[in-house]
Amino acid sequence: MPEPRRYPRIRVSGGPYERGRLYGDAARDRVHRGRAGYEAAFARAAGWSWEQAVEAAAPLEAAIAAVFPAYVEEMRGIADGAQLAFADVLTMNARTEVMWAATARQAASMRAAHARECSSFALLPGRTADRHTMVGQNWDWLVHSFETVVVLEVEQDDAPNYVTVVEAGLLAKTSMNSSGLAIATNALVTSADRGAPGLPYHVVLRALADCHTLTDAVNVVQRHWRSSSANYLLAHQDGTAINLETAPGDHSQVYPLLPVGGGLVHTNHFLAPLREVTDVSLYAMADSLVRLQRVQAAIAETGRPATVDSLREALSDHADHPYSVCCHPDVRAAPDERSATVMSVIMDLDERTIWLSDGNPCRHPHRPLTFDGLLDKPSPLLAR
């Protein structure tokens, strides 16, 4: 039998550039695979060369540097460590914005050229068997990503330490930090997604990993101009959670949702009524509807207190296969257009444990990851 897949763990420390350099060096092969995968994806979805993608991403550097210059330094470090150009790493971190900038210039039919995405949840203490706060998601994406994911463990002096399960070369994805904050996420797309300058999706995810509180996180999302639509599902160890659906723009395009019955679930379409823009998520990700039904029934609406085992089962659901919560490649699609559940994560915020499935959870059982005190760093904002 083949060896079970194990995504590599990388721990970094130091200043922003040094952390990035260590990360890029340790993940070099995976960063290069990610760049190659996105070069192929941009060409397939919109007929763009890598050079065109780099040109589209370039204006976003100034938007990032104006608000979060340290993240530009992190990307410079990643590029140097991985032996790539800074422009390559910037383009990878702006891959959502580049994709929509490209498809906005094509015929309307090109908007269907989008891989399947994510199913996420948060459960408050009253809904879990051990009365812990739990957050998790399946991340569904192009199959080249099986060769790019890493578990990045970050120690920093001036913000919470954090762990993020992420494509190598990107700043952050699904994360938990030492202040007890967890971030899950879902792609969304509206009629306003055209790759205009602003903070890229994955830069916002990185900024959220630096937050101590939910209020900090809400302010990160609403106080800066965002380049693309996205959903941010946020929860804190203190037993609170909030979901922020967003379209490109400022605070006027943030749509908050609160837990119902102690739970939140989300897939890849807007649940709140929108202002001034149209949700086109279902045109690109029609499977979102069935996945939402299934995660609601298995996680949010069941009367049983949740356990890691019950959440594993919910995230392994195969209704509407292959477009299911546990997503499998559609054999009718071209090989480089196929998607799958690339990783599945369950985060216990009280224990600071991440349960990780290194691929489809039906085939790769979730394994517990602990972090030797990395996530025990006390928050300066703890009530005394």
String of DSSP letters for 351-379: TTEEEEESS-TTTS--EEE--TTGGGPPP
Q: Which residue has the higher pLDDT, 117 or 151?
A: 151
Cα 257 to Cα 238: distance, rounded to the nearest angstrom: 18
At residue 116 the predicted structure's pLDDT band, cuts being 50, 70 and 90, is: low
Question: What is the C-alpha separation between 142 and 145, in angstroms, rounded?
Answer: 6
In this structure, CATH architecture of domain 114-375:
4-Layer Sandwich (3.60)
C-alpha triplet 163, 122, 201: angle, nearest 5°: 55
pLDDT at residue number 99: 87
- Assess whether pLDDT exceeds 70 at residue 49: yes
Question: Among 44-48, 97-101, 111-115, 255-259, which stretch is predicted with the lowest mean pLDDT?
Answer: 111-115
Distance CA 375, CA 372 (A): 8
Local confidence band at 249 (pLDDT 50, 70, 90 cut-offs): very high
In angstroms, the CA 380 to CA 384 distance is 10
Type of residue at 76: R
Tokens of 296: 């609601």
Given a contact cutoff of 8 angstroms between Cβ atoms, the answer to whether 12 and 153 are in contact is yes
Residue 74 has pLDDT above 90, yes or no: yes
Q: How many CA atoms lie within 13 A of 243 on its CB side?
A: 25
User: How does DSSP classify residue 28?
Assistant: H
Query: Which residue ranges make up each domain of the chain?
Result: 114-375
Flag whether pLDDT at 382 surpasses 90.
Answer: no
**Alpha helix segments (H runs only) across 138-287:** 201-209, 214-222, 281-284
The average pLDDT across 9-32 equals 99
The predicted pLDDT at position 338 comes to 93
Taking phi over 0 as left and psi of -120 to 50 as alpha, with beta for the rest, 79 belongs to alpha
Does residue 104 carry a pLDDT above 80?
no
| Mean pLDDT score of the chain | 94
CA pair distance 197, 217, nearest whole angstrom? 21
Nearest-CA neighbor of 21 among 69, 73, 80?
80
Beta-carbon-side half-sphere exposure of residue 323 (alpha carbons within 13 Å) = 17
Global pTM value = 0.96
Q: Is the predicted pLDDT of residue 109 greater than 80, yes or no? A: no
Report the chain's C-alpha Rg in angstroms.
19
**240-246 and 230-236 beta bridge pairing:** antiparallel
- Give the C-alpha separation, 112 to 126, whole Å: 40
Contact criterion met (CB below 8 Å) for 316 and 362: yes
